[in-house]
Amino acid sequence: MAINYPNGKKFIPSKEKPVAKKKKDFSFSNRGKTLEDELNETNDYYLQRGLAVIHKKPVPVQIVKVEYPSRSAAVIREAYFRAPSTTDYNGVWNGKYIDFEAKETENKTSFPLKNIHDHQIHHMAQVVKQKGVAFMIIRFSSLERYFIIRFEDLEVFWNRMITGGRKSIALDELEATAIEVKPGAFPRLDYLPILQNL
C-alpha cells in the first residue's frame, strides 16, 4: 500500500531515502565562478564607486516561437541570432571608450585562437582606429591566471595564424606580451589600473 503525505508527495521509508550528494566546495580561490561572473562583479564594483561604466553587451536574438504553458510562464521554443555579436563588454572609463572580449581556456600551455572569430577581430580593429581601447582578457582556468592582451598584440598572433602559422598563443608568449592580472577580493579582477599601460 502506498502512503502519501498530505501534499501528495510519496512517503519514502528511511531505508529507501536517497543519499544526498555532497555539495562541491567552491570556497577555495573563487572556484565555480566563470570569468563572466568575475567581470560582472568587478564592473558592478566600478560602477558603484563611479570609476567606470562598463557593461556586458546583450546578444541580439530574434525570437520566432514562444509557447505559454500557463498564464504566468512563457517558454521560448525557437530563436536565432540576428547578427554575430561583436565583443563581450564595452563602456567608458576616464574619457575613453573601452571594448573587450573575455575568453577562458582549460589549456595549461596555450590559448587556442579558434575561440575568437573574424568579426570580433574586425570590430576591435575598428575600435582602435577610432582611438578607443580594445583588448582581450584571457583566463587560464586550470592555472587561475588572467592576462590582458592589447588588441595590437592579439592582431599579431591572429595574422600569424591566418598566414599559416601557429593556431594558438603560447603561455610564454602571453607572459612576454600581455599583462597579468592578479585576482583579489574587492574587486576580483581589478583591470582598470592596467589600462593605464595600454
Q: Is 101 annotated as a binding residue?
A: yes
Residue 172 Ramachandran class (φ > 0 left, ψ -120 to 50 alpha, else beta): alpha
Q: Is 88 annotated as a binding residue?
A: yes
Neighbours of 147 (CB within 10 A): 21
Grid cell for residue 77? 521554443
| DSSP state at residue 26 | -
Grid cell for residue 125? 580593429
Q: How far is CA 29 from CA 115, 141, 187, 188, in A?
A: 25, 11, 14, 10
Beta strands 133-140 and 96-105, pairing class: parallel
Q: Is 130 annotated as a binding residue?
A: no
| DSSP state at residue 116 | S
Q: Is 105 annotated as a binding residue?
A: no
The binding site for Mg(2+) comprises 86, 88, 101, 120
The binding site comprises 86, 88, 101, 120
